[in-house]
Structures are given as C-alpha cells and as structure tokens.
Structure 1
Amino acid sequence: MHQRPVRHLISLEDLSDADLRELVDRGVRYSAGCGDTPRPLEGLVAGLYFTKTSTRTRTAFSTAVLRLGGGLVTYGPGDLQTNTGETHEDTGQVMSRMLDLLVARTAGDPEEMRMWARQSRMAVVNAMSSEEHPTQALADLTTLTRRFGRVEGLRVLYVGEGNNTAAALALGLSRYRDVQLELRTPPGYGLPARIAETARRRAVRSGAVVTERHDMDALPLGFDVIYTTRWQTTGTSKPDPRWREIFAPFQVRQDLWQASPEAVFMHDLPAHRGEEVTADVLDGPMSIAFDQAESKAHSAMAVLEWCRPDGPGHAGGRPFLITSSGRT
C-alpha cells in the first residue's frame, strides 16, 4: 500500500501555499471543536526536546499530543548524547527508530533540525530556532482568521525587534493577497536580510505589501492589527549596552490607537509590561494576546496531524518527533 513520505515543518518555506492554508484552516476547525478524525495520533509516539524555557509552545504541543491520542516522551537540554559528541544525524537516525514525531526548540541554527530530518521515518517540527518561529506564525494566522474571518486584505503593524517571531510573521503574511505588513524595527535590529528579501519576493507574487522602516515617524492610518514581541528574547543578548535607549521609541502605547481606533493588539508572550508594551494596552479591551496564546494549542494539533506519517487518506504509520528552541 502507498505510504506518504514524512513531512517536516522546520521553516514556513517548507510549506506550499496550499499547505499553509490547510494548516491554518485546520487550526481554526480545532478551535471550534471540529476535529474530523478522532484520536489521529493513536498508536504513535511524539518526542518533545526543549533546550530553552517555554510556557505556551511546550504546553500547547504536549497537550495536543495527548488530546490527539498519542504517547509523549520529553527531553531536557542535558538529556541527549549530542552533549557528549554524538552527531545530530546519528541522533536523528536513532530517534526515528523509536519515535514518530519530534518537536524541538533550540537556541541554535535550524540546520541541526535539518540534520535530524535526514531520515525517512520521523517527522521533525521546529518549535522555535534562532532564525524562525514557524509554529508561532501558524498560531498567529489562526488567531487572525478566527477574529476577522480572513487574513487576506488585513493591515498589520509590527513594532519591535526583527526577531524569529517577526521573521515567521513576515514569511506567513506575505503569502496572502492584499495584506499590508508594516514593520517598524529599531535601527540595527531589523529582519535578517535573507528573511526580508524572501518575504518581499513572496509578497510580489501574492499581491501583498511588506515594508520595513527603522523609525516610528509618519505611520499610516487604519491598521487592523498592532503586534509586538518582548525586547529580550530567550537565549539571546544584545551587544550594544545602550540598546534600551534605541528600543524606547518602539514601545507600544495607547497613542498608536489614535490613528487605528479599531485595531486589535497581539503579542506572542511572555510580555514585560512597561517595556515593549504598556499595561493599559496589554490588559485593555483591544488586546487579544491571550486568545492568541490559546490558538497555539489548536495550531499545534493541526501541525501534528498534518506532519504525522501517513496522515489523512493514507494507511499505516510510524512515530514522530517534535522539537522546540524558542521564546514562548
């Protein structure tokens, strides 16, 4: 019987446009309690490997595995023999003989996840690396779809560092027609050049617009969404000792709503009130940050079902591994 190749999610660039929309739509369906397949991970085992702290992402994937009927194995930063010199390729080969999926969060380059993925049995999911947080973007797109009924045509203002959440947001939103994404990032802390170029190229193809500036002057009017992330990302440090002075003009405050009175506020959390956002914004009526956090659980179920070996319409199956290295 035909067996589908293993599907990994290490970057949003691993997904076709159809795959991306399928995952978002599936997350929305899970949020409405409409999972079509009861216990789709029955008989499968997922591994969670987190080398950095995580509240939302780790809880989302752990509960998603259990709710979908799978078994769960967890690893901390000191648990694997990679610490004693075993190669990532060998580790991936061994895990793939015992697990069906691996969800991983690391502080390093996503290339180590690609090394784990150099086998044909176990699916690998990037739960955050230094470069990109793809499952956060899927949760964000799910949140937007739940709130607005669409992603197409939305106007989104992102304020803050061009970090891995911003990178994934740009790579995701640039796929949708008529989206306008305005990034305002501190000088010296913008999107990585490769990510910015990829997002702009995607936007040209889809009819979206992605713009980045390094000041807060002359903001356009009428945003649907204002989004920020915390200034001190897990596992990173800033070389400039005066970085807080550079970031200060990029704090999200109530005055941003004067030009966009209907905008909702999003934050990937955790938040530091009084730093990247004021308390009256985060805790105010415009904030959907905690709905956004809840979407991570629905999106995690969508990702696991999509990645599982021999998914809907296929017979058979093998275990998988989930990896995470990021902020939330």
Structure 2
Amino acid sequence: MDTLDTLDTLDTPGTPGTLHTPGTRDGQRTARHLVSVDDLTDGELRRIVRRGAEFSAGTAGRSDALEGLVAGIYFAKTSTRTRTAFSSGALRLGARIIAYGPGDLQLNTGETTEDTGRVLSGMLDVLVARTAGPEAELRGWAAQDRMAVVNAMSAEEHPTQALTDLTTLLRHFGRIEGLRILYVGEGNNTAAALALALTRFPSVHLELRTPPGYGLPAQVAARARAQAEQYGAVLRERHDMDALPAEYDVVYTTRWQTTGTSKPDPDWREVFAPFQVTARLWDGGSRAVFMHDLPAHRGEEVTAEVLDGPQSIAFAQATNKMHSAMAVLEHAAGRTAR
C-alpha cells in the first residue's frame, strides 16, 4: 500500500543552504544527533519514517539536501546493509563521503572519543558510526554541536534499524497505528530500538517472545512500558512460545548471534531452539508478513521456508534501509529537499 497520510508532518523543515563550513548556524542547517530513538521528538520520528516511505515509494522527488556536505562513515564492525545504505544514501543526496575502517582512527592509540569528535567536527558535517560498543562512546563523539552523530548500531540499541522497520511497515500497511507485531528471539539492540519506537504509536500491540535470560534489558523494558501507557500502545514480553496471540500482522525475528557479541552459556542454542520461526506460526491461515533485519541464518532463527516464502518482506525491508538512511541523513544535517 502507498497510503502515507497517517503520519503528519509536525515541524516545519528548514531550507538547504549552499557550501559552508561544518557547524554553520545561519538558519539553514542545524546538526542533530541520533544516538537513540529517545533523541527524536514525536514529530521528528514520524517525519523521518514518512520521508523514508516517500523515498521508498518514489514520491519524494529529487533531493540534494546534502549537497556541499561531507559525511564520515565509520564502521568498527562488519556491516553489509547499514554501511551500504548510508554510503549510497549520502551519495544520492549529494554528499561527499570519507570511509573509515576499524583500524583507521587514533582511538586505537588511546585518543578519547571526545577529542576525536572535536577534531572530526571541524572537518565533517555528519558522522555515521557503528561501534557495537557502549552508547557512551557515541555520546562522546556527540559532545560537540558542529557535527551530527548517527548511531549505526551500538551494544544497547540499533535506532536506524527501527526507523527502517517503521518505514517498511508504513510502506506495506499504509499505517503503523493499530498494528500487531509478534517479535520472536533475543531481546537485543534491534529489539530494544523497535520497542522504544513502536510504543510511541497509538494502539500498537508489540508482543515479545524472548528466551529465558535473553529478554529486553530491564531499563529498556521500563522505558518502553511507560511509553506504551502514555501513547495507548501495548507491550508484553514472555519467555516461552505458549499461548501465542490469536492474531498478528507481523512476525519479526533477528539472528541469534548479534554482531559483535558472544554468549557465555555454551548451551545457549538449546535455550533458543523453541524460538525458531517456522511455518507453524502461519497455521490457521494467518496473513501476517515476515520481517528480519538480516543477515539471516536459515535453519537457526528462521526456516528457509519462511524467509524465502511469499509471506516474507525481509529483502524489501533491507532495501528500505537505504531509503530510511536518506531520511535520517536529511534530519541529521538539518536539511530537507528543495
């Protein structure tokens, strides 16, 4: 569905300027950090999702919102989709990019993240960074106000994945409000960001089925539940696969071994085994779609029958990562299309 009218634009966008030095404060651009979903106002969250859906639908029009800007792309951990999405998205919006690998910055020789951020902010307009480490590292880079910092995945949260997921939901269903999502698997950084984003939409029902000992972090669960109460959403979490909801619109899972992490329990696969997504979740004629943040391991968290079946929109979801990245970059740079 291409109905995008359910998300209102609540703020007036700025007007893109011309070539400038980083940190310009001329009324034309203002750098904005995105380290957590919590950094976004309701209006910003909805505008980014709507804009991503417009890019996906081909209705966004031409945007040169990053013309004259320089974006740094730093990935300390492996990435296929997110790195390509932000690199491709920045180029499509007119930016020049500088790519950094895990061994390229003086962080490896003991320079603080705050000092690195101060230096880079004199040369870059936006820094997209995946550390897979603590969020505090990214907050160190964001301790300046000249260069926008975008979290491309930290240990605690994967906010740009959640924005991609919401973009995909809006494109497929034409709405987010009122959707029923069944999340199956580890309460990892993707699940955390998804919970923090979805519970800000009225009448959303998010049911998480996570293995014992691998649920949402308590602090994240508390924040998401408070939001659900505030916005009229529902958040539930159980640690078994019994008595599943009678109806759901989406089944979502992630890979069992999150990038950059390992599990101390040598028998963890036995704990996770009952949480594999199989075709039985569609018994009874469910019309739910299947989503996965990828990469996927067929035969572990999901069967090939589901991932490659007609109910799967996982690869459209992956493509939407670029469309969502473009919306995020527009927001981070404080610019929108002419």
If the length of structure 2 is used for normalisation, what is the TM-score?
0.90
Aligned to 1:171: 196
Residue 34 of structure 1: how far off its partner (Å): 2.7
Residue 37 of structure 1: how far off its partner (Å): 5.4
Distance 1:312 1:292, change over 3 A: closer
Q: Point out the more displaced range, 203-212 or 253-262.
A: 253-262
Aligned to 1:221: 246
Aligned to 1:82: 107
The residue identity in structure 2 corresponding to 1:278 is T
The residue identity in structure 2 corresponding to 1:256 is L
Residue 312 of structure 1: how far off its partner (Å): 3.8
Extract unaligned runs of 5+ from structure 2. Answer: 1-25
Aligned to 1:270: 295
**2:62, 2:337 within 8 Å by CA — same for their partners in 1?**
no
Percentage of matched positions with identical amino acids: 69
Aligned to 1:193: 218
Residue 33 of structure 1: how far off its partner (Å): 2.0
SS class of match (2:59): coil
Residues 1:308 and 2:333 are matched in the alignment: yes
**1:105, 1:127 within 8 Å by CA — same for their partners in 2?**
yes
Write the distance in 1 (CA, Å) between the matches of 2:276 and 2:75: 30
Residues 1:124 and 2:149 are matched in the alignment: yes
**Of residues 292, 302, 314 in structure 1, which corresponds to 2:317?**
292
Write the distance in 2 (CA, Å) between the matches of 1:200 and 1:172: 11
Aligned to 2:257: 232
Residues 1:66 and 2:91 are matched in the alignment: yes
SS class of match (2:328): helix
Residues 1:19 and 2:44 are matched in the alignment: yes
**Of residues 187, 192, 196 in structure 2, which corresponds to 1:162?**
187
If the length of structure 1 is used for normalisation, what is the TM-score?
0.93
Higher RCO, 1 vs 2 (CA within 8 Å, ≥6 residues apart): 1
**1:223, 1:260 within 8 Å by CA — same for their partners in 2?**
no
Residue 220 of structure 1: how far off its partner (Å): 1.2
Q: Deviations over 1:48-85 (max 9, x none)?
A: 00000000000000000110010000000111001101
Residue 216 of structure 1: how far off its partner (Å): 0.4
**Structure 1 stretches of at least 4 aligned residues deviating more than 6 Å after TM superposition:** none
Aligned to 2:20: none
**1:152, 1:176 within 8 Å by CA — same for their partners in 2?**
yes
Q: Point out the more displaced range, 134-143 or 113-122.
A: 113-122
Distance 1:4 1:73, change over 3 A: closer
Extract unaligned runs of 5+ from structure 1. Answer: 315-328
The residue identity in structure 2 corresponding to 1:62 is S
**1:221, 1:259 within 8 Å by CA — same for their partners in 2?**
no
Distance 1:100 1:299, change over 3 A: same
Write the distance in 2 (CA, Å) between the matches of 1:149 and 1:259: 25
Aligned to 1:318: none
Q: Deviations over 1:237-271 (max 9, x none)?
A: 00111100000000000001115611000000000
Q: Deviations over 1:203-242 (max 9, x none)?
A: 0011000000000011111110000001011110001111
The residue identity in structure 2 corresponding to 1:92 is G
**Of residues 73, 77, 94 in structure 2, which corresponds to 1:52?**
77
After superposition, the CA RMSD in angstroms is 1.3
Distance 1:261 1:66, change over 3 A: same
Residue 313 of structure 1: how far off its partner (Å): 9.2
Write the distance in 2 (CA, Å) between the matches of 1:106 and 1:26: 26
**1:132, 1:165 within 8 Å by CA — same for their partners in 2?**
yes
The residue identity in structure 2 corresponding to 1:151 is I
Aligned residues: 313
Distance 1:52 1:260, change over 3 A: farther
Write the distance in 2 (CA, Å) between the matches of 1:281 and 1:98: 46
